[in-house]
Homo-oligomer: A and B are copies of this chain.
C-alpha cells in the first residue's frame, strides 16, 4: 500500500460507506495517496440528489444499535471523513464514466466532492502500482 490505495466503491448499502470513510482518512493521514472509483449502486450517493441510506436487509435489526453507538462516539459521517481526507492528503474521487452514462448523470449532477468522471482504463492506469480493494 506504500504507493497508494485504490478503492473501487461499488456497493451502495450504507454500512459500506463507513469503511470507505475510515480507510480513506487513515491512508490520507499516513501520507498514502487514495483514488476512489465510484460505480454501481454507490453512485447515486455521490450526486447532489442523494437517496436515503439503505442498510443490508439481513442486518436491519442491528442498525439502530450501531447508529446509536456511532452517534454516542460522535463519529464523523463518511462524507466528512472523505472531505477532511481531501484537505489533508492526496485523495481524489472519480465517478465511473460507464455508470454515469447509464444513469444519465453529468458533471453538474455530481456532488462537489467528486473530482472527475473517468473511465476504467484511466483509473487502472493511474492506480497501476496501488493496492486495490473492491468495496
Contact = CB atoms under 8 A, between A and B. Distances in A.
Contacts of A10: 15-16, 19
Contacts of A64: none
Interface in A1-44: 1-2, 8, 10, 12-13, 15-16, 18-19, 22-23, 26-27, 29-30, 32, 39-41, 44
A58 B69 contact: no
B134 A19 contact: yes
Taken together, the copies of this chain in the complex come to 3
Interface string A97-124: 0100111100000000000000011001
Contact of A69 (B12, B56, B102): B102
Taking residues whose C-beta sits less than 8 angstroms from the other chain, chain A's interface range is: 35 or more
Interface of A: 1-2, 8, 10, 12-13, 15-16, 18-19, 22-23, 26-27, 29-30, 32, 39-41, 44, 54-59, 62, 65-66, 69-70, 73, 75, 98, 101-104, 120-121, 124-125, 127-135
